[in-house]
Structure 1
Amino acid sequence: MKHSYSFPILLISLLFVTISLSALNTQVPLWLVRNEFSLGQIGLVGSSYFTGNLIGTIFANWFISRFNARHTYTYSCIIFAIATIGLSFSINFYSWIMWRFFIGIACAVTWVVIESCILLTGPVHTRGRMLAVYLTTYYLGTVLGQALLQYFPQDVLYFGLVIMLLMGLAILFILRTHYKLPKRKKSSFNIMPMILNKPSRLGLTGCIIAGMLIGSLYSLLPAYYSHLGYSDIQVANWMILLILSGVIAQMPANWCADKFGRQIVLLIESLFMLVACIMLIFNWFNALAIILLGATIYTIYPISMAWACSCVKKQDIVAMNQAMLLTNTLGSLIAPAVIAFIMDKMNNTYLFVSFAIISLYFIVLLIKKRGTDAQPQKST
Structure 2
Amino acid sequence: MHDIRPLIPLLITAGILIGGNGLQGTFIALRGIEEGFSTSVIGMVGTGYFLGFVIGCVYITKVMRAIGHIRAFSALAAIASAASIMMVLVIDPISWFLMRLVQGICFAGLFAVVESWLNARVTNATRARTLSVYRFVDLGSVTAAQYMIPLFGVSGFDLFAIIAMALSLSLVPISFADKSSPAPPKDVKFDIKVLWSVSPLATVGCIVIGLTNSSFRSLGPIYADGIGMSVTAIATFMSIGIFAGIVLQYPLGHYSDKLDRRVIILVSTIGALLASVFLAFLAGDGELANFIGIFGFGAFALPLYSLCSAHANDHAAPGQHALVSAGTLFFWSIGAVVGPLIASFLMEVFGPHALFAYVIVVLTFFAAYTLARIRARDAVPTEKRRMRFRSLLRTSTFFSKLATPPNEKDGG
TM-score range, shorter chain: over 0.9
TM-score normalized by the length of structure 2: 0.86
1:361 aligned onto 2:365: yes
Q: Which of 308, 313, 316 is 2:312 aligned to?
A: 308
Contact 2:58 2:190 in 1 (8 A): no
Give me the whole-angstrom Cα distance separating, in 2, the residues matched to 1:182 and 1:87: 35
After superposing the two structures, state which structure 1 stretch, 252-261 or 50-59, moved more. 252-261
In the TM superposition, what whole-angstrom CA distance separates every residue of 1:15-65 from its partner, at most 9, and x where no partner exists?
A: 111121111110111111112211111110000000010111111101111
SS in structure 2 of the partner of residue 247 of structure 1: coil
In the alignment, what sits opposite 2:390?
none
In the alignment, what sits opposite 2:181?
180
* CA separation of 1:277 and 1:190: change in aligned 2, threshold 3 A: closer
Runs of 4+ in 1 over 6 A off after TM superposition: none
In the alignment, what sits opposite 1:57?
57
1:124, distance to aligned residue in structure 2 (A):
4.0
Contact 1:45 1:100 in 2 (8 A): yes
1:178-327 equivalence runs, <5 A = 178=178, 180-183=181-184, 187-197=187-197, 199-284=198-283, 285-327=289-331
After superposing the two structures, state which structure 1 stretch, 233-242 or 253-262, moved more. 253-262
Give me the whole-angstrom Cα distance separating, in 1, the residues matched to 2:140 and 2:7: 16
Give me the whole-angstrom Cα distance separating, in 1, the residues matched to 2:244 and 2:190: 35
Same amino acid, percent of matched pairs: 22
* CA separation of 1:73 and 1:261: change in aligned 2, threshold 3 A: farther
After superposing the two structures, state which structure 1 stretch, 76-85 or 159-168, moved more. 159-168
Q: Which of 366, 370, 376 is 2:374 aligned to?
A: 370
In the alignment, what sits opposite 2:29?
29
* CA separation of 1:313 and 1:134: change in aligned 2, threshold 3 A: farther
**Unpaired stretches in structure 1, ≥5 consecutive residues:** none
1:126, distance to aligned residue in structure 2 (A):
4.4
In the TM superposition, what whole-angstrom CA distance separates every residue of 1:121-158 from its partner, at most 9, and x where no partner exists?
A: 42245445534432332222111111333223534432
* CA separation of 1:57 and 1:96: change in aligned 2, threshold 3 A: same
In the TM superposition, what whole-angstrom CA distance separates every residue of 1:249-290 from its partner, at most 9, and x where no partner exists?
A: 222221121122321111111111111111111233333221
In the alignment, what sits opposite 2:337?
333
In the alignment, what sits opposite 2:397?
none
1:3, distance to aligned residue in structure 2 (A):
9.1
Give me the whole-angstrom Cα distance separating, in 1, the residues matched to 2:68 and 2:112: 12
In the TM superposition, what whole-angstrom CA distance separates every residue of 1:164-215 from its partner, at most 9, and x where no partner exists?
A: 222232100011112633236x745241342331x42212222221122221
SS in structure 1 of the partner of residue 315 of structure 2: coil
* CA separation of 1:29 and 1:149: change in aligned 2, threshold 3 A: same
* CA separation of 1:367 and 1:258: change in aligned 2, threshold 3 A: same
1:343 aligned onto 2:347: yes
RMSD: 2.1
Task: Tell me how many residue pairs correspond in the alignment.
Answer: 377
Contact 1:245 1:292 in 2 (8 A): yes
SS in structure 2 of the partner of residue 87 of structure 1: helix
SS in structure 2 of the partner of residue 314 of structure 1: coil
Contact 1:74 1:174 in 2 (8 A): no
Contact 1:32 1:42 in 2 (8 A): yes
